[in-house]
Chain A
Amino acid sequence: MRVPLLPRVAQGEIAAIDECLDRYGGLIWSLARRLSPSSPDAEDAVQEIFIDLWRSAARYREDLGEEETFVATVARRRLIDRNRKLHRIPKPQPIDETTLTYASPEVTPIETSEDAQRAAACLKKLRDNEREVLELSIYHGMAHLGISERTGSPLGTVKTLIRRGLTQLRTCMRLGSRVSAEGGVAL
């Protein structure tokens, strides 16, 4: 398990900023690229995310969750919030382009957090159609309507599959009651 960097950031250690950029820059940039409508927008977003991260560094508690998960939570909140405020949802890309540009993600990370490893294992237990809609929604940032068009499933079915998939993952990862009781990754 990697040693968290945010406590050092909270203490004002500049070296920890560099290490955070090394460790999480790719994760945040990749997430911003996938969930932003354009590259310039992703650049703005990633800077806002890092500001959020520096400012929330003191609130991170290692006993409530892993740092990687905390960082991804901060990033996703900001990205979804930006899209909503600007009344934008990333446009679903044409199927061919999606397939070419965004191949299915690997699900066997070599050196990552325990949360992520658990998530990877639980994802394998989902049905193909559940996993597919989650991949299109979470990984590719597609709106429900876009997923419906992409998969040929009715909109209601897409919503049901997403919800069922996430509920099963939550159960599988055994995060439900324990996390809510402890506050999870509350920011």
Chain B
Amino acid sequence: MSTSGKADKDRWEELQIDRLLIGLSPDEQGEYETLSRQMHSDPSGSFERVVASIDVTWLESNSIPLPEHLRKAIRDQAVQEWLSPAPLLAKTLTVNRTAGRSTRLPWIVAAACLALSVFTPFLNRPAKDILKSAAQLRTELIASATDIIELKWSVGPTPIAGAEGDVVWSPERQQGFMRFRGLTVNEPTHQQYQLWIFDKNQDEKTPVDGGVFDISSNGEVIIPIHAKLRVADVYLFAVTIEKPGGVVVSTRERLPLLAMVKRT
């Protein structure tokens, strides 16, 4: 490597690190972009990944819970964003920041006002018409995934009369949906349903938690599967009834539904 080449590489690394830790001035940013075009092998991602990995390492074990009011604001804003035609928030954010205001949540208020004034008819539509429902997502998954497993529920050791339905699962996407009809409506403060996914690569005693859910209707209900861990080779889905919030290890005393993958 030539002297100038080494100098460029040194400077390049220096700028990458400063960019991650303290940020770059406009001049430095220009220099960074020039060098990034010159450097054939751009290693910026690796330094960035190292720092991000350290952030995760140090902060996950020392993290402070997100305040509830902040969580609610973020969630509300996210739903609002889902309800809005795409660029609404981007415009609002720009306006607020260039105006130099630093009060809390100004853009949420502005976004809400703008949305209400411009898109009132749109927003007055029921959310289910706008948001993608579980039924839509299920249909899309079945249409687009090439490895769909589709199974009928069968009765478990403690059946619920009239309960039926099916489960679809894409191993590649790790996504799936359960469909139920006739499953008893539960009182969430008293008990909840919980899905378990049995993986051939995992001990039968420790199936993957597929998520806690509620049944609010005797009619058709579609529930997305939220596997907490990657499922490599599923062979059985099981629904149990547990205490509110679910359990880490089920006693399997109340197990109304099963869906077994048939091996050919």
A81: which B residues are within 8 A, CB to CB? Answer: 23
- The DSSP consensus for interface residues of chain A is helix
46-102 of chain B: CB within 8 A of chain A: 46-67, 70-71, 73-75, 77-79, 81-82, 89, 93, 102
Q: In this complex, what residue of A is CB-closest to B70?
A: A43
B260 at the interface (CB under 8 A from A): no
In angstroms, Cα B21 to Cα A8, docked, is: 31
Chain B residue nearest to A162 (CB atoms) is B17
Residues of A within 8 A of B256 (CB): none
Do A72 and B228 have beta carbons less than 8 Å apart?
no
A176-B46, A180-B41, A180-B45 known; A29+B66 contact, CB < 8 A: yes
Q: What's the Cα separation between A17 and B73 when bound, in Å?
A: 12
Please judge, given known A-B contacts A3-B228, A29-B66, A112-B60, whether A138 and B55 are in contact too, CB under 8 Å.
Answer: yes
Q: Say whether B50 contacts A54, CB under 8 Å.
A: no
Are B17 and A163 within 8 A (Cβ)? yes
The answer to whether B45 and A116 have CB atoms under 8 Å apart is no
Instruction: Select one of A40, A139, A167 contacting B104, CB under 8 A.
Output: A40
**Contacts of A14-38 to chain B: CB distance below 8 A:** 14-15, 17-19, 21, 25-31, 33-34
Q: Is B249 an interface residue (CB 8 A)?
A: no
A1 nearest CB across to chain B (Å) = 5
Known pairs A69-B52, A159-B14. 8 more at Cβ < 8 A?
A: A21-B71, A27-B60, A41-B102, A108-B61, A109-B61, A177-B41, A179-B49, A185-B45
